[in-house]
Amino acid sequence: MLALLLISGGRSEDMWVLLGLCLYVVVPLLVLLLLLWHQRCTGDTSDVYDPTPVRRQAMLNLGVVTYALCLVVLSVLEAPPLYCWAGATFLGGAAAVWGINRFWKISIHATGAGGAAALVTLAEASGWPLALGLPVVVGWARWEREAHTGAQLVAGTLLGALVAWVCREIVL
């Protein structure tokens, strides 16, 4: 994929979309799978969806590093500003949750959903009203798992939206 992007000279919108999906969906998924594999090999039975505070902080460390490296790739390849804005939002959200998590458990899932909804809405992408339902669905799922309180979910959603807005002001 990276080779195709370089060959196309970075002009193909489809290549940027594919690269963005690889960097911000496939790479984090692979990191999570490696974490689960390591957990299984070591006999760790903690719940990855509602981990202990120590495990949660380690996962957030991995997330921040992963998102930072992905943003570096986008920057080096001179990605269009919208992609850098999205990457900065993912990194900013993960970093903010990483910091807050040291004192209070905030929902990173709600932060991601709030950030994604804000990105789509602020970019005025087609179908943006549908994006506003994402934090509701994600929040409901986390609530049903009893992984978070309502305050943690609302705070995460608002944090994600705020990070997206701030990153837009900085990047665009």
3-state secondary structure of 88: helix
Which amino acid is it at 79? A
Q: What pLDDT score does 79 carry?
A: 92
What pLDDT, in 10s, does the model give residues 14-65? 788 888 889 989 998 998 899 889 888 988 877 766 778 888 898 899 999 9
Mean pLDDT estimate for the chain: 89
The answer to whether the beta carbons of residues 97 and 143 sit under 8 Å apart is no
CA atoms within 13 A on the CB side of 106: 26
Separation between Cα atoms, residue 65 and residue 24, nearest integer Å? 12
Give the whole-angstrom CA distance, residue 46 versus residue 143.
19
Instruction: Determine how many CB atoms are found less than 10 A away from the CB of residue 149.
Output: 13
Among candidate residues 32, 39, 27, 105, the one with its CA nearest the CA of residue 71? 27
What is d(CA 135, CA 80) in angstroms, rounded to the nearest whole number? 26
Q: The pTM is what?
A: 0.86
Contact 85, 119 (CB under 8 A): yes
CA atoms of 13 and 16, how far apart (whole Å)? 5
pLDDT at residue 4 greater than cutoff 90? no
Dump pLDDT digits (tens) for 137-151: 999 999 999 999 999
| Cα distance between the two ends of the chain | 26
